[in-house]
Structure 1
């Protein structure tokens, strides 16, 4: 079994591909979104629908960038917290040794 660092190095860790929201509303909302897209496809001309899809693609790209930055920020914050906890452990151990 690879270590976490090896898996990260070789690109085996891809959290964005493994995240499936557990919120019970997720599937319902996804289904409703698909149904709405089908309705708009029927209502709009081919050109207008393509423009709508292009706009929604831009929105998805924007949300993806935001999610990536949120993940990075959360990971960095967690690492900083762990560093502080580890430093506090060292300080506590020094107090015990004295």
Structure 2
């Protein structure tokens, strides 16, 4: 069994790819997004739909950056909490 440190070193630790929401609304929201995307693809010209896809890609990148920053901040807060427990 590999250690977490080895997984980090080899780039195998990707929490953003293995997270599944525990919120029961997540599946419903995903289905709704897919339905809307399908509707837009049918209604719009190819170039217009590509613009929407590009917009969603950019929003996804921003969300990923935010999630990474939140992950780092959460880790820092956790480390500070541990320091406070041990150091007072």
Confirm or deny a common fold (TM above 0.5): yes
Q: Does 1:83 align with 2:75?
A: no
Instruction: Give the number of aligned pairs.
Output: 88
Unaligned runs of 5+ residues in structure 2 are none
Deviation, 1:10, is 2.8
- RMSD over aligned Cα, in angstroms? 1.2
Cα-to-partner distance string for 1:3-46 (whole Å, 9 max, x where unaligned): 33233223332211110101111001000100000000111101
| Largest Rg, 1 or 2 | 1
Superposition TM-score, scaled by structure 1 size: 0.82
1:20 alignment partner, SS class: coil
Superposition TM-score, scaled by structure 2 size: 0.91
1:36 alignment partner, SS class: helix
Cα-to-partner distance string for 1:35-88 (whole Å, 9 max, x where unaligned): 000000111101100011101111110111011101100111111111111112
Which stretches of structure 1, 4 residues or longer, exceed 4 Å deviation after superposition? none
- Residue 96 of structure 1 corresponds to none
